Structure 1
């Protein structure tokens, strides 16, 4: 179906579907009714519709494309500063009001559900969107599992990672196609509320993210937060049938002592260990550093 679509707006509709927009319109109007003054006929506070919500998304998308997403709403809707491209769509007051009222769930159910799932305010819309990402694309033979920190401060499970561009935000492990960078699947990291079923977190996320490609003999590349010897062996068997290439942390007890760093070992050398289907490479790029790669 997707191969026959070339219009950008139709491609966008494959991911932000009518069901997604309808759900947002429904709960946004509930919030608008709460925030609307008792006696008010001003157009700024009227109910929204699917066309206006798509228009709102269009403004947000355009701000990203034009590198305007760091500007305030006052600057965006100032014709002398940003031209008329945003002002021609809606007023600044209406944009701000929609931003305050935008909702994706039934707000009254949050207190009961949030203890089990802190991501509940956007969980339903998120799963609908991810489902479209899975069904609209057939990935290649090689995929990568890694994490992205999306800058955001308004949630209890935000993380602080100092070496990321946005130091505070939501950590989202995701699986992407190596060739096209397309995101096939993603799961938000919600901290201690994550039910891993007794598995280490890295192993749990990799197995969950790779569900769309289980049984396909594809290869997954990942970093040392995900990689372990037990995971590599498990992925070879049913129902996964996947291969893995990933760096391994130096404190793993499966690494032979002979492959670890010593002063006598020259810089730039590699050592290999084989265990039936597994291969471990030990590489010394610097005098005080070792890199372990498991495949």
Structure 2
């Protein structure tokens, strides 16, 4: 198709029933995209079993149009956009689950918003004894204590903000404390560490996985920090992969912006499954760009065949489809049978053949 046809189809693309949108939007801000999003996430959960280490972080999908839950995060590359709370596998970077953040439309009940989002996004892995790595926006001591109990049964490793009232005064910064020192405190299954990398900076981490005050002999950093650094970057890597090879286009409609992001995530998830299968079969996988192009060709192949069989299709379009699909057309024989007499013109009257 030409560019005008493609732009026309994008303008006509919708993801819900417009006649009932107003009623659904009164109780759900994501109503224009809710059905498509839930179907996409259910497939992400269904076709992959994550490893033991999970990362929870936020992704900001760049968008500057009108949207009731558009966010402004100054430390992100896009600054303005749609916020997603995302759960990804630390080893393979597979996106296991994601929740759009709807701003004031989110109803966390009686618990803090961060705790509510963590408990909601981890529903597919409840009771599996996996570990969650999170930053200081999500991590809190009450949440870590709750995640150890049924029905969650999950451990937590994450950074803590220095204003948490549960942090003891003894492990906070002081002038007498040397740079590079670590202080530990323990409470049943929870371990808290205070590390001083600079004279005016203290890093606090909470872990329900580690129970020993282990410090690395080379870097002099606690083992909890090394574990956190090795498992925290899954969502950031997914965000980087989406920006390097993106299907996004400029749009003023936020459902279409979400759609582009789901296509980017689906390419990453599909590639992860493909690489796992190829390694299991002891074969060399393709690069991600080559795989994405090949997958796109396979997806459009049935539609090209259906269009190719249209009788009234233009010859130049049919020739283009034939070249894409490598369809061989049998050449007609040019050998004329000499024993047959030549027929007269179809426009001439029959009496001239006498």
Same fold (TM over 0.5): yes
For residues 218-252 of structure 1, give each alpha carbon's deviation from its aligned partner in whole angstroms, at most 9, with x where no partner exists: 10100011111111110111000110000011111
- Runs of 4+ in structure 1 off by over 4 angstroms are none
Q: Distance in 1 between matches of 2:121 and 2:14?
A: 27
| Aligned match of 1:187 | 99
| Aligned match of 1:290 | 202
Aligned to 2:144, the other structure's residue is in SS state helix
Q: Distance in 2 between matches of 1:223 and 1:186?
A: 16
Where structure 1 has 5 or more consecutive residues not aligned to the other structure, the ranges are 1-89
| Aligned match of 1:241 | 153
Matched, 1:255 2:167: yes
Matched, 1:162 2:90: no
| Aligned match of 2:51 | 140
Matched, 1:271 2:192: no
Q: Distance in 2 between matches of 1:257 and 1:222?
A: 24
Q: Distance in 2 between matches of 1:253 and 1:211?
A: 29
Cα shift at 1:275: 0.2
Aligned to 1:187, the other structure's residue is in SS state strand
Aligned to 1:282, the other structure's residue is in SS state strand
Q: Distance in 2 between matches of 1:91 and 1:124?
A: 30
Cα shift at 1:152: 1.6
Task: Tell me the TM-score normalised to structure 2 length.
Answer: 0.57
Q: Distance in 2 between matches of 1:103 and 1:193?
A: 23
Cα shift at 1:106: 1.3
Which of residues 107, 110, 122 in structure 2 aligns to 1:198? Answer: 110
| Aligned match of 1:126 | 37
Q: Distance in 1 between matches of 2:25 and 2:64?
A: 17
For residues 76-129 of structure 1, give each alpha carbon's deviation from its aligned partner in whole angstroms, at most 9, with x where no partner exists: xxxxxxxxxxxxxx1111111111111001123222222321111111100000
Q: Distance in 2 between matches of 1:158 and 1:115?
A: 18
| Aligned match of 1:82 | none
Task: Tell me the TM-score normalised to structure 1 length.
Answer: 0.68
Matched, 1:111 2:22: yes
| Aligned match of 1:231 | 143
Aligned to 2:100, the other structure's residue is in SS state coil
Where structure 2 has 5 or more consecutive residues not aligned to the other structure, the ranges are 208-354
Q: Distance in 1 between matches of 2:23 and 2:58?
A: 29
Cα shift at 1:203: 0.6
RMSD: 0.9
Cα shift at 1:268: 1.1
| Aligned match of 2:343 | none
Matched, 1:151 2:62: yes
